Amino acid sequence: MDQIKVFSPATVANVSCGYDAMGFALETLGDDMIFTKTDSKGVIISKIEGADLPYDSDKNVAGAVAQLMLKDSKANFGLDIQIFKNFKPGSGLGSSAASASGAAFAVNQLLDKRYPDLELTKFAMQGEVVACGSAIADNVAAAIYGGFILVRSNEPLDIVNIPTPTNLIATIIHPQIEIKTEDARKVVPTQIDLKTAISQWSNVGGLISGLYSNNFDLIGRSLVDLVAEPNRKKLIPFFDEVKHAALKSGALGAGISGSGPSIFALSEGLETAKQVEYAIASVYKKSDIDFSTYVSQISKTGTRIQ
C-alpha cells in the first residue's frame, strides 16, 4: 500500500460528568487525510484545506505524530500528508485530536498495522502535546477506538471501550467564538468538595451503566456536570438557553463539548436529535454569533479508511 485516505472523527470529550475521563466519537463529522509514501525519508505536509495550520511538520500535529511513528518503527520510507479539515480548530470538538489520530491510524496502516490501538493512542497523545502542551488522552482515544471511551488511567494508560446504544444520537452546536483551552482550564477549580466529587462519580457510574444497558433515561439522568460546567458555561454565550432548549426538545442531556465553545446534546433517535438541532440553532439565530450545527450517530469505528 503506497497511499491511504482516512477519515478521522470529531470527538466530544468530558461528556458532562466524565470530566477528563470520558469521550465519544462522531460518525459523520471529521477530517479527511491522504497519506502517500515517499522514497525520501521525512514528512512533508503538502496540502492543508479548511484551516490555517502550520506546514512545518515539526509543528503540525499530524506531521509530528507521523515523524514519531516512522522513527519508532525505523520505516524505510517518508510521507506526504494532505489534510482536509471539515470542522474548525478551537471548536472543542477535538480538531487537533482528529489530526493526531488520523495520522496515527494512517501511518499504522502503512506499517502493516504493527501497533495496537493503545500504542496508537500514545502516539496521538504526542500530537496533543504539539497542539496544546499536554498529552491529553480523551479526544484521541475516542477518535482511535470509536464509540464511547473511558480513560481509566493516564499512567499507565488504560482505555476502556464502552458499548454505545445504536439509537443514541449527538447534536452539536459550534458557536464561532474563541475560548482558549488555557482559559477554560483556569476557571475549573483545582480542589472540589468531596460531596461534589461523590455526585460526579455516581453520575459517571450511572452514565456507564446506562450505556451498557441501553437505558436512555439513566443516561439522561447521569449527564450532570457539577465540576466544569458551572464554571465554564459563563465563557459560552447563551449556554443555559441552549441547554434548556435542548432538554425541552427531548434531549436526554446536554453539556459543554471538551473545553467548549461547542455544546453537545444526546438524544434517543434521529428525529429527536434533529428537533434538538432546530431548537438550539434558534437560540443562536437571535444573536449575531455565527454558528454551525451537526447531527451525528456515535461512530462505532472511529478513525477509518475512506
The binding site for ATP consists of 88-98
Q: How many CB atoms lie within 10 A of CB 253?
A: 22
Contacting range for a copy of itself; rule: CB under 8 A; set: 66-74, 87-95, 167-175, 184-192: 184-192
- Nearest CA among 168, 129, 127 for reference residue 31: 127
- Nearest CA among 62, 52, 51, 90 for reference residue 6: 62
Cα distance between residue 262 and residue 258, in whole Å = 8
237, with CB counted inside 10 A (0-12, 13-18, 19+), is: middle
Contact 66, 35 (CB under 8 A): yes
Is 200 a binding residue for a copy of itself by CB under 8 A? The answer is yes
- Near a copy of itself by CB under 8 A: residue from 58, 183, 193, 240: 193
- Near a copy of itself by CB under 8 A: residue from 151, 179, 245, 246: 151
Is 46 a binding residue for a copy of itself by CB under 8 A? The answer is no
Choice among 121, 181, 272, 303 that is catalytic: 181
Is 150 a binding residue for a copy of itself by CB under 8 A? The answer is yes
Is 209 a binding residue for a copy of itself by CB under 8 A? The answer is yes
Question: Which H or E element spans position 26?
Answer: strand 22-38
Is 206 a binding residue for a copy of itself by CB under 8 A? The answer is yes
Residues touching a copy of itself, count (CB under 8 A): 39
**Quick one: cell of 263?**
455544546
Is 218 a binding residue for a copy of itself by CB under 8 A? The answer is yes
- Nearest CA among 18, 26, 243 for reference residue 150: 18
Is 40 a binding residue for a copy of itself by CB under 8 A? The answer is no
Q: Is 181 assigned a catalytic role?
A: yes
Residues in touch with a copy of itself (CB under 8 A) = 17-22, 150-153, 158, 160, 162, 188-195, 197-206, 208-209, 212-213, 218, 221-222, 227
Residues annotated as part of the active site: 128, 181
